[in-house]
Chains A and B, each alone.
Chain A
Amino acid sequence: MGQFIQYIINGVISGSILALIALGIVAVFKATKVVNFAHGHLILFGAYFYFTFSVVLADAPFMPAWVSSWEPAWLIAYAGDAPMFSPRAAIASWVSDLPRILLGLVGALAANAVLALIIERLIMRPLLGQSAFAMILSTVGLIWVLEGSAGLIWTAEAEQVPALGPNFPIRFQLFDQNLFLFSGSLVNLLVALLLFASLMLVLRYTRSGVAIRATAEDQSTAYAMGINVPRVFSTAWLVASTTGAVAGAILASRNGLSPAIGLFGLSVLAVVLMGGLDSFAGVLIASMLVGILSSMAQWKLGGGVAEIVPYVAVLVVILIRPHGFMGQEEIERI
């Protein structure tokens, strides 16, 4: 039972990251009816921007030394001679890295937002009025453009980036079982869920949220009602790119920075299909389910099979419910 709960916890943590990635795909689809195949590569750019700002720029000779490593006397005293990976050492190390983490996050959010706006203005907006198929194919082409550009700008070597939160093991008992999770993963989980919840609240209770939902219902009517539909499109791409930047930073700090992040992001499309392309609640459920299934498969069946099992489940769900768990069924009037 203890092991079972342990893998559920691991699965929920993985699932929350899937949900954060899926968020951007759903946001763009809800507003524009375009399935953004290049979302994984937006995340890849977010991860590389985070690396650029938090590692390359922070360690640049022209930057003040405190950006690279902030070590006030009180922090050194607090850290004392705590052993590596003890909570105190982990917290002290994280506080010391805070300036570079913040620089990395702010830089990644801004740079990814600019990138998304460029993509939206130069590629997607000229295709407004064309078939959704043309727009979707252009996002497929974008994959190769972004992947190639990343290869030209950065090396493809695996790099280390600072984690968003301090990383030490948290041990606790549940149902008389010894369990653990990493504090860094807990921070990632909280960040992902917080962003997810915030976006849902924004969509529900703000004017721009209502505009996005109205545009998702019917673009022509939204136009007629005075909604600035192109701005809605830009907003959706901004949401996708900024949440993608955070997802990229989390993935890079958790698994290492490498071009594989782009493909991982692409694989989340299957999770989105399972949950329903236009349903935030649906993709949250699907993400958690896939995360837990992956974790269980890794536990019981091992790596090779674990890669396949969750996606077999996705296929089964799509066969039974073609629109996913909570996706809106499209009714075509003839």
Chain B
Amino acid sequence: MALNRRTLLKTGAALTAASMAPGIVRAEGAHWRVAASLPMTGPFATAGQLVAPAFSEFEQQVNDNGGIGGKPIRVEVADSGYIPRNALANFQRAQAAGDLHFYYGDSTGFMELVGPTLTGDNAVMMGSTSFASALSDPANRPYQFMAGPTYEDQFEILLRDIANKGGKTVAFVYSDTEFGRDPIEHGRQVAAELGIDVVLEEVTRAEGADIENHVTKLAQANPEYTILQGYVTGVWPQLIGGARAFGLTTQFMGTFWGMEKIIADRVTEQAGPFLDGYQGVMPYRYFYDQDEAPFYQELGAFKRSVNPGFSGYVTAWELEGRLCLELWKLCMERVIEADKEVTPDNLMAELGSIRNWDSGGFFGAPVDVVDNKIGQGRVYRYDAETRLYNPVSDWIQV
């Protein structure tokens, strides 16, 4: 055979590929791969940067303890800027780089976008920051789950708490976003069942809302309770401040993303203690409530060991990310123990079979995973003097 230049190049390329292939195969098989998109820049950069340690520390802790089923894990985090198409591109890159065993998304938008593509070989077990009700749908979204109650569930927990306390009137104030609108229809139904009158439904901008008009409408409706939905760091503090300045006594309540202690503390620091008494639903214990939370104690000790300057507080946002990872790890261990193949279907089947699980303190009572979610939460109240959210209800199951 004549060895011309083209043949030489082809042969060289083939030999190189053949010699590297076993290495690639070994690399794929050597780790369980976890990837995530987080908003390290953009409107929720602070949230993304606060959640990020959950991933690096999970990797270190799991690998220090021998990995999962004797195999180490590898965690890759990419910035999405809170743009769903960026997160989708991150996900596709992670998939193209080899076997992917878990993915963590950064938003409802991304989860909606990627959901329909998770079929066949593209299927991956997937958690996220989102509590959107549409994601709790095993029939249509068999690979997506959430580590807590949906926004609808959270609304229901609040409305049940209001009913338990004899409340008769409520206002729903929500941002003009998918996030804001998510639980409103369900909230109307539950309120009607519980005999609570929804005296106002007020839509606001997600940022830069016209506080004066919203406060005027709240004053006219004069609800005993006002539930806020669809905000993270903005609008809700200004609205509560405006209402309090006006002299409204309505009890404000929020859901998961409006319940972070560091945000309430920052508002108190910058604008005064008017958030005192603000309540809301939180699926998890706050990190400072460690007496019955061995996992929190262990996590705190680990954080202190790797970072002597650790403040002692872990945000609820980070805890949510960590819980998603812990649920995946639990499913992995159960699948491996059962000597089954690690596939998204087997992992999700294990997730769906979780009953009476002791989470180590995230939740106040053992929990079940039903419809790819955990329907438990508790109502907390912010104390501006101690800067703590304190529980004002038992753990409520929905």
Centre residue among B211, B212, B237 by max chain A CB count within 10 A: B212
- Asked if B45 and A251 sit within 8 Å, CB to CB, the answer is no
- Asked if A299 and B217 sit within 8 Å, CB to CB, the answer is yes
A156 to B44, CA, bound (A): 7
Q: Which of B176, B232, B244, B267 sits near A303, CB closer than 8 Å?
A: B176
- Asked if B201 and A85 sit within 8 Å, CB to CB, the answer is no
Q: Is there a chain A Cβ closer than 8 Å to B346's Cβ?
A: no
Assess A84 versus B274: contact at CB under 8 Å? Given A158-B234, A304-B176, A307-B205: yes
Assess A254 versus B42: contact at CB under 8 Å? Given A85-B247, A85-B274: no
Centre residue among A14, A254, A299 by max chain B CB count within 10 A: A254
Distance from A291 Cβ to chain B, minimum over Cβ atoms (Å):
10
A298 to B204, CA, bound (A): 9
Centre residue among A7, A14, A84 by max chain B CB count within 10 A: A84
Assess A182 versus B245: contact at CB under 8 Å? Given A156-B42, A254-B211, A304-B176: yes
- Asked if B208 and A258 sit within 8 Å, CB to CB, the answer is yes
- Asked if B213 and A10 sit within 8 Å, CB to CB, the answer is yes
- Asked if A84 and B246 sit within 8 Å, CB to CB, the answer is no
Q: Is there a chain B Cβ closer than 8 Å to A260's Cβ?
A: yes
- Asked if A3 and B220 sit within 8 Å, CB to CB, the answer is yes
Assess A155 versus B46: contact at CB under 8 Å? Given A85-B245, A169-B245: yes
- Asked if A307 and B245 sit within 8 Å, CB to CB, the answer is no
Centre residue among A158, A182, A298, A302 by max chain B CB count within 10 A: A158
Centre residue among A161, A260, A264, A304 by max chain B CB count within 10 A: A260
Interface residues of A in 1-23 (CB under 8 A from B): 3, 6-7, 10, 13-14
- Asked if A160 and B45 sit within 8 Å, CB to CB, the answer is no
Binary contact readout B169-180 vs A (1 if CB under 8 angstroms, 0 otherwise): 000000010000
Interface residues of B in 236-250 (CB under 8 A from A): 237-238, 242, 244-247
Chain A residue with Cβ nearest B180: A303
Q: Is there a chain B Cβ closer than 8 Å to A93's Cβ?
A: yes
- 9 residue pairs of the A-B complex, CB under 8 angstroms, read A157-B233, A160-B266, A180-B246, A256-B207, A256-B208, A260-B206, A294-B213, A298-B213, A304-B176
Interface residues of A in 150-190 (CB under 8 A from B): 151, 155-161, 167-169, 180-182, 185
Q: Is there a chain B Cβ closer than 8 Å to A261's Cβ?
A: yes
Q: Is there a chain A Cβ closer than 8 Å to B100's Cβ?
A: no
Chain A residue with Cβ nearest B82: A156
A261 to B205, CA, bound (A): 12
A195 to B224, CA, bound (A): 41
Distance from B288 Cβ to chain A, minimum over Cβ atoms (Å):
22
A256 / chain B contacts, CB cutoff of 8 Å = 207-208, 234-235, 237-238
A156 / chain B contacts, CB cutoff of 8 Å = 42-45
B219 / chain A contacts, CB cutoff of 8 Å = 180
Q: Is there a chain B Cβ closer than 8 Å to A55's Cβ?
A: yes
A13 to B222, CA, bound (A): 23
Interface residues of A in 189-210 (CB under 8 A from B): none
Binary contact readout B211-232 vs A (1 if CB under 8 angstroms, 0 otherwise): 1111011011000000000001
Assess A13 versus B212: contact at CB under 8 Å? Given A160-B237, A160-B270: yes
Binary contact readout A244-278 vs B (1 if CB under 8 angstroms, 0 otherwise): 00000001001110111100100000000000000
Binary contact readout B266-281 vs A (1 if CB under 8 angstroms, 0 otherwise): 1100111110000000
Distance from B211 Cβ to chain A, minimum over Cβ atoms (Å):
6
Distance from A316 Cβ to chain B, minimum over Cβ atoms (Å):
22
Chain A residue with Cβ nearest B207: A260
- Asked if A151 and B42 sit within 8 Å, CB to CB, the answer is yes
- Asked if A303 and B204 sit within 8 Å, CB to CB, the answer is yes
Assess A169 versus B246: contact at CB under 8 Å? Given A3-B220, A159-B270: yes
Q: Is there a chain B Cβ closer than 8 Å to A295's Cβ?
A: yes
Assess A299 versus B208: contact at CB under 8 Å? Given A84-B274, A167-B245: no
- Asked if B211 and A255 sit within 8 Å, CB to CB, the answer is yes
- Asked if A261 and B208 sit within 8 Å, CB to CB, the answer is yes
Assess A157 versus B210: contact at CB under 8 Å? Given A84-B273, A84-B274, A85-B244: no
- Asked if A93 and B272 sit within 8 Å, CB to CB, the answer is yes
B42 / chain A contacts, CB cutoff of 8 Å = 151, 156
- Asked if A298 and B207 sit within 8 Å, CB to CB, the answer is no
- Chain A residues with CB under 8 Å of chain B are 3, 6-7, 10, 13-14, 55, 84-85, 90, 93, 151, 155-161, 167-169, 180-182, 185, 251, 254-256, 258-261, 264, 294-295, 298-299, 302-304, 307
A168 / chain B contacts, CB cutoff of 8 Å = 245
Q: Is there a chain A Cβ closer than 8 Å to B203's Cβ?
A: yes
A307 to B176, CA, bound (A): 10
Q: Is there a chain A Cβ closer than 8 Å to B209's Cβ?
A: yes
- Asked if B41 and A160 sit within 8 Å, CB to CB, the answer is no
Q: Which of A6, A161, A302 sits near B202, CB closer than 8 Å?
A: A302
- Asked if B207 and A295 sit within 8 Å, CB to CB, the answer is no
Centre residue among B220, B245, B267 by max chain A CB count within 10 A: B245
Centre residue among B43, B210, B232, B266 by max chain A CB count within 10 A: B210
Distance from B60 Cβ to chain A, minimum over Cβ atoms (Å):
27
Q: Which of B203, B206, B207, B212 sits near A182, CB closer than 8 Å?
A: B212
Which 5 residue pairs are nearest across A and B when measured between Cβ atoms?
A303-B203, A158-B234, A260-B207, A160-B270, A260-B208
Chain B residue with Cβ nearest A291: B210
Assess A302 versus B41: contact at CB under 8 Å? Given A3-B220, A256-B235: no
- Asked if A298 and B210 sit within 8 Å, CB to CB, the answer is yes
- Asked if B237 and A157 sit within 8 Å, CB to CB, the answer is no
- Asked if A251 and B272 sit within 8 Å, CB to CB, the answer is no
A161 / chain B contacts, CB cutoff of 8 Å = 270
- Asked if B272 and A84 sit within 8 Å, CB to CB, the answer is yes
Distance from B79 Cβ to chain A, minimum over Cβ atoms (Å):
12
B220 / chain A contacts, CB cutoff of 8 Å = 3
Chain B residue with Cβ nearest A3: B220
A182 to B219, CA, bound (A): 14
A198 to B165, CA, bound (A): 55
A259 to B273, CA, bound (A): 25
- Asked if A157 and B213 sit within 8 Å, CB to CB, the answer is no
- Asked if B267 and A157 sit within 8 Å, CB to CB, the answer is no
A14 / chain B contacts, CB cutoff of 8 Å = 210, 212-213
